[in-house]
Structure 1
Amino acid sequence: MPQALRADVGDHAPCDPEFPARAIAHITADREATAEAPLDLVPFANLKGFFTGSGKGQAPQILWDPFTGAFAQFFPATSRSKAVFDAPGGTRTNRAGRVVIQIEALFFPHCRVNGKVFARLADTPCKGWGDLHAWVSSWDVPDVWPMGRPTSLSRNTCPADKWRTQGGWYAHAHVPENNHVDPGSWPAFGSQPPTPSHTEPQFEPFPGASFFQAGRQSPIIDGMHGRLVAEDCDRYASSTRFDVWGAGDVRSYTAWQQKLGFEGRAADGVPGRFSWDRLEVPNV
């Protein structure tokens, strides 16, 4: 996937081309929260680290953060991944399709992000969904839910004949041999953010890495500052000169890059196009 951070875990294996192309939708469900006791969302970098570490045996093709639009890819589309249970000798659930693209959305019910609580995945900003949907569609996965689009956390196992013959999108709750109930909801096909009525960009275009030099003064930097604070990446030591690029901007932007899953030299505090576009600095 062009927009995804590469985090290949190896151990590739072919899918079964005699079955139709499909995608399987999951949520990470990594914490148990309630409406009365919501919990903070686990950072994207933590889940990326899990799937490249001790969780390799459960890794999907794609980890998707619907709050920032970040992606990490652990297997190519043409390989089976390992995010659903596959009983020995039964239906090869991770492979039953020309492609079987599995997506784990970083989400659990009643997660809290920037002080707001989200009960369903479909209630989140679903940033990046357009890119994700387009990429899955490029592998000839049709825009259908053979078992119905998921609307609740409930089990509805797909009959074996339908699983063998009908491609499209399936919830983890639909997959044979499994007992999960996720994802509970999923964004609609073709759903996109509303197009602005004016012709100017809605967000500030990436000005290039060379723009961010010590002492540079610009309303773009001021707008970036506000977005970094809103994304809980405030590492500023001063409360003045928000429009001047300095050490606090570098620290705060590093925190944003790390939130998107970048590590090492890729999280150096200097904006790049991918991280800048995901930050969505208002047009000035």
Structure 2
Amino acid sequence: MVDLWMPGATRHSLGNTGAMNGGPARAVWHITSNAKDWTFARELGWFTGGGASVAPHLLWDPFTGEIAQFFPADSRSLSLQNAGDVKTNRTGKYCIQIEIVFTEGETVNGKKYATVRDTPCKNLDKIVAWLRSLGIPDTWPGGAPTGFTRDTVSLDAWLKLGGHYGHNQVPGNSHVDPGPMPNLFATVPAPQKPPTTKPKVSLAHVVYAAKHDPAAAQGHTSYKSEVLLVEKALAAEKLLASQWVDGSYGTKTLTAYAAWQRKLGYTGSDADGTPGKTSLTRLGDKHGFAVTA
């Protein structure tokens, strides 16, 4: 179950929630762009007071790492203008609006910062991790913002494509923020899928099953499961009928494996239906099992 309130963000619920319209999840990035006051406290006071009618989900200070949240993830926030009849704040399963406490060219501790990309971006990794947990993909459908200019995506793209957008890209809006952004997706590595472990088939076990009475070979439980893997692969090759996929290396399986060997170019005694290392390995590589000695 996802966290609708970002872990680590201070919660300042404004109430006034609204349902989303469904569709691909997305996030929209903004900057506060306040020429008079660049502090997190000032912007927090604004969005919990007179600016509540235009509040985002998150307010983030890239210098201090402070993060506040005003709406749960499954509610629309209020930072976007509509695009005609399309209520852009409600587009998607989630449409997370992030206001960055930043103004183009602001000076902090004697240093001037031209873009968000130049800031320390403290705790950005935590925001990205939370957005990923909501199913928002690591992509900019309209391309990452490159300047303080409009770069509007089509309404069709906005409705159909999940991912990250700049405020400057959302249809129906006129703003040019957030300007050049850092590489969001490098801030925290994308989760890696665990390596797939292939089932193992012992060449010695399968050869034993092929050379002995099938009933005797079936007495070895592991042998039967390994033979089943081989038989399923032979059935996938359309060399063995499904009713003979039973874990018993009988004459039908022997005949089918001989056909597999001939398919690989073997002839004579090399195509007698008893597996060899090369032919079994090639069958396993094609059908998802690994061969051991």
Structure 2 partner of 1:124:
119
- Structure number with greater Rg is 2
Structure 2 partner of 1:13:
18
- 1:149 partnered with 2:144: yes
Supply the distance in 2 between the matched residues of 1:190 and 1:179 (Cα, whole angstroms): 26
**One-letter amino acid of the counterpart of residue 171, structure 1:** G
Alignment of 1:253-264 (within 5 A): none
Structure 2 partner of 1:71:
67
Structure 1 partner of 2:80:
84
Deviations, residues 214-261 of structure 1 (Å, cap 9, x unaligned): xxxxxxxxxxxxxxxxxxxxxxxxxxxxxxxxxxxxxxxxxxxxxxxx
* Greater relative CO (CA pairs within 8 A, separation 6+): 1
Alignment of 1:200-215 (within 5 A): none
- 1:28 partnered with 2:28: no
Structure 2 partner of 1:189:
184
Alignment of 1:92-107 (within 5 A): 92-107=87-102
- 1:179 partnered with 2:179: no
TM-superposed CA distance for 1:158, in Å, is 1.1
Deviations, residues 114-138 of structure 1 (Å, cap 9, x unaligned): 1111001000000010000001111
Secondary structure of 1:151 counterpart: coil
Supply the distance in 1 between the matched residues of 2:179 and 2:152 (Cα, whole angstroms): 14
Per the normalisation by structure 2, the TM-score is 0.61
Structure 1 unaligned segments of length 5 or more: list them. 32-38, 194-284
**One-letter amino acid of the counterpart of residue 15, structure 2:** G
**One-letter amino acid of the counterpart of residue 169, structure 1:** H
Structure 2 unaligned segments of length 5 or more: list them. 1-5, 189-293
TM-superposed CA distance for 1:191, in Å, is 3.0
Any conservation in 1 of the 2:138–2:185 contact (CA below 8 Å)?
Answer: no
Secondary structure of 1:72 counterpart: strand
Alignment: residue pair count: 183
Structure 2 partner of 1:212:
none
Per the normalisation by structure 1, the TM-score is 0.63
TM-superposed CA distance for 1:163, in Å, is 1.0
Supply the distance in 2 between the matched residues of 1:174 and 1:168 (Cα, whole angstroms): 12
TM-superposed CA distance for 1:56, in Å, is 0.5
Give every structure 1 segment of 4 or more consecutive aligned residues whose post-TM-superposition deviation is greater than 6 Å. none
Supply the distance in 2 between the matched residues of 1:153 and 1:189 (Cα, whole angstroms): 18
**One-letter amino acid of the counterpart of residue 4, structure 1:** A
Compute the RMSD of aligned alpha carbons: 1.4
Deviations, residues 58-101 of structure 1 (Å, cap 9, x unaligned): 100000000011100000111000011125x5111001000000
Supply the distance in 1 between the matched residues of 2:137 and 2:18 (Cα, whole angstroms): 23
TM-superposed CA distance for 1:151, in Å, is 1.2
Choose from 36, 46, 62 the match for 1:50.
Answer: 46
Any conservation in 1 of the 2:38–2:103 contact (CA below 8 Å)?
Answer: no
Supply the distance in 2 between the matched residues of 1:128 and 1:139 (Cα, whole angstroms): 18
How many percent identity over aligned positions?
Answer: 46
